[in-house]
Structure 1
Amino acid sequence: MTRCVAATTAAALTCLSVIASPLAAAQTCGPDEAAAMRFALAQLPFEPLTGAKWDPVPVESNYDPCATLSSMLVTVEGATGSSPVQALMFHHGEYVGTGTAKARGFTSLDSAASNDDTVVLKYKTPDQPESSVRYQWQGDRVVMLDPAPSSA
């Protein structure tokens, strides 16, 4: 890429070659959390079982507009403790989809086990121990590294 600048109004343009480094590309950051949430919810249909709208305030979040992968957990408006929860996934602040096709109750974010390219969610299922599922950004998509817990 070439960038041209004028030192003074009477001076000729001085052109510099600017090389985009991989490090600069890796530091691409997205919007703030509120804007990212608005965009994601605009893409998400109402919760299919209840027909309820998703609450625009995350119940948990490790959203980072510069992270390779981060997440916000949302539930429905007027939720109770067992209401469905959906994990919204973000790559450098860009909404890339949900953790699972179907929202589940009793889902939480394990921020301590998550890192720049991996989000760890914990799922509780009746009559089964809590299970952790890792989601990782690989190339151009999110990959679920562990099996999803069985539905109850």
Structure 2
Amino acid sequence: MRDVWSLPRRAQPLILAIALAATVSGCGSGDSTVAKTPQVTTSATASITAPATPSAQAAPTSSGPVDPCAIDLASPTIAKVVSELPRDPRSQQPWNVEPLAGNYSQCAQLSAVIIKANTNGVNPTTRAVLFHLGQFIPQGVPDTYGFNGIDPAQTTGDTVALTYPSGINGLNTDVRFHWNGNAVELIGNAPGH
């Protein structure tokens, strides 16, 4: 015959587990272990905000005068001129106002920026836009389509050497444009780099 006490013996491990759980969950914020344990969210927040503080402090506190004759490919003049150009004849898309290359300067007798058609095409049309003393030269300029860069070794204050791919072993060909005092003239081709 079974003993009445056999049921409590089976329940004894269960009662012990419940009592242990109650003891562990009874730890409050006054417990020394909990009070000394740092919270994870506090340190994660500090590591996220820490990099932002040094970069804000690294910014210069005083800025010197801006050189008006420096190359400035972010000039609003470029964006305005490019946005007013007729669309690319090949893709019928407007031109992207961010230059691919250039030496635009308000002080240069002749400077240029290279732009591309605002298209997702594989080989978008490129062209040079020429400036005299920072002002767009709208007329009297030889064809400037297909140029993709400027050769600084052959470019001076009144001459711009524009490059285009020759298709031979990755070499470029340079075409030099010169401000003659009244207009832009083509002064010759030279092997590029």
TM-score bracket for the superposition, by shorter chain length: 0.5 to 0.7
Match of 1:116 among 157, 170, 173: 157
Q: What is the alpha-carbon distance in structure 2 between the residues aligned to residue 65 and residue 46 of structure 1?
A: 25
**Pair 1:130-2:144 in alignment:** no
CA contact (8 A) 2:108 2:134 kept: yes
1:52 aligns to what?
93
Higher relative contact order (CA closer than 8 Å, sequence separation 6+): 1
* Structure having the larger proportion of residues in strand: 1
Q: What is the alpha-carbon distance in structure 2 between the residues aligned to residue 112 and residue 97 of structure 1?
A: 26
Deviating 4+ runs (over 6 angstroms): none
1:101 Cα deviation (Å)? 3.0
Deviation digits for residues 81-124 of structure 1 (CA, Å, limit 9, x no counterpart): 632111010000010048643621x6211123211000001111
Q: Which amino acid aligns with 2:173?
A: S
How does 1:1-152 map onto structure 2 within 5 Å?
33-79=74-120, 82-97=123-138, 100-101=142-143, 103-104=145-146, 107-127=148-168, 130-146=172-188
SS at match of 1:123: strand
1:78 Cα deviation (Å)? 3.5
Q: Which amino acid aligns with 1:139?
A: G
Change (3 A) 1:102 1:43: same
Change (3 A) 1:139 1:79: farther
Unaligned runs of 5+ in 2: 1-67
Root-mean-square deviation (CA, aligned residues, Å) is 2.8
Change (3 A) 1:143 1:81: farther
Change (3 A) 1:79 1:69: farther
> When the two structures are superposed, what TM-score results if normalisation uses the length of structure 2?
0.53
Q: What is the alpha-carbon distance in structure 2 between the residues aligned to residue 102 and residue 115 of structure 1?
A: 18
Unaligned runs of 5+ in 1: 1-27
> When the two structures are superposed, what TM-score results if normalisation uses the length of structure 1?
0.66
1:40 Cα deviation (Å)? 1.8
SS at match of 2:153: coil
* Structure having the larger proportion of residues in helix: 2
SS at match of 1:146: strand
1:35 Cα deviation (Å)? 2.2
Identity of aligned residues (%): 26
Q: What is the alpha-carbon distance in structure 2 between the residues aligned to residue 84 and residue 133 of structure 1?
A: 18
1:140 Cα deviation (Å)? 1.1
